[in-house]
């Protein structure tokens, strides 16, 4: 039985949430669980020719974009986590650190030989300490 469910969302890719968000909401209702959303911003490498504040505001922008998605899909009020770094690593670290016992994650159209299991999903499934529900889009 799940008590805390984590849903990774990429605000730039509708496939990451279109089918997975309703499934995660259903799982949360079924189990009486908390549902949290995470979005991971790829790590920004600061180069010498970039200004010191390059990337400032990125987390606020992503949080706003994710909130719009949630609001338009009757999922307002969910806790949103914004992490920065490697997508699969940040999902796994957050899930372990915060005690999530289920991750609901959408598959995406991958290339041969993975077809619909992209590298981030494959790594989450392979390394997660908890149940991972894969939602095919």
CA-to-CA distance for 88 and 125, rounded, in angstroms? 10
**What is the CATH number that goes with domain 4-135?**
3.40.50.620
DSSP-assigned beta bridge partners for residue 81: 38
φ and ψ of 35, to 5 deg: -115, 125
Domain ranges of the chain: 4-135
In order along its 137 residues, the chain shows pLDDT tens digits of 899 999 999 999 999 999 999 999 999 999 999 999 999 998 777 677 777 777 778 899 999 999 999 999 999 999 999 999 999 999 999 999 999 999 999 997 655 655 567 889 999 999 999 999 999 87
DSSP 8-state code for residue 98: T
CA-to-CA distance for 48 and 121, rounded, in angstroms? 33
Quote the pTM value.
0.90
| Cβ neighbours, 10 Å, residue 38 | 22
């Amino acid at each position: 039985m799940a008590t805390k469910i984590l849903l990774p969302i990429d605000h730039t890719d509708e496939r990451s949430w279109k089918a997975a968000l309703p499934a995660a909401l259903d799982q949360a209702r079924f189990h009486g669980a908390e549902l949290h959303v995470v979005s991971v911003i790829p790590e920004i490498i600061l180069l010498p020719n970039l200004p010191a504040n390059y990337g400032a505001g990125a987390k606020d922008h992503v949080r706003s974009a994710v909130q719009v998605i949630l609001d338009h899909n009757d999922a307002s009020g969910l806790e949103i986590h914004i992490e920065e770094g490697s997508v699969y690593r940040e999902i796994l670290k957050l899930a372990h650190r915060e005690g999530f016992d289920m991750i609901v994650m959408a598959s995406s159209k991958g290339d041969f030989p993975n077809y619909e299991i992209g590298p981030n999903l494959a790594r989450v499934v392979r390394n997660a300490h908890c149940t991972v529900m894969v939602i095919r889009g």
